[in-house]
Structure 1
């Protein structure tokens, strides 16, 4: 399946109980964090399935690492030269 053609909402609806590597790769390409997480507009980790903000201390180390990397990229993209 070509996940690149689906919206985030459609990807979220595709979730079954199984880990879908291709879906996770597409989500990571878009958000820089493994499925189902992304950063909200304030840079907080958001679980898109539960619509809950998750504190860094509550997340797996890999998710926090990815979130920190995504925060740096977001910061660099907003710096005006």
Structure 2
């Protein structure tokens, strides 16, 4: 896939109630951290907004982020 041809919004709903694993989201809010797969993918496809949401379960302690949006290597929310 040519990165310049990939545009729009990718909405991902993941079912892990503790959130997206910390290795996968590494670097999205800390420039000094090693880049996780979400940051790498976001930089490779800069015109693609990636929106991640997660299932929530009562009584389950979250470890990673449950919801976030990134684009072009930047954490949006």
TM-score over 0.5 (shorter chain): no
Greater strand content: 2
TM-score by length of 2: 0.24
Q: Which has the higher helix share?
A: 1
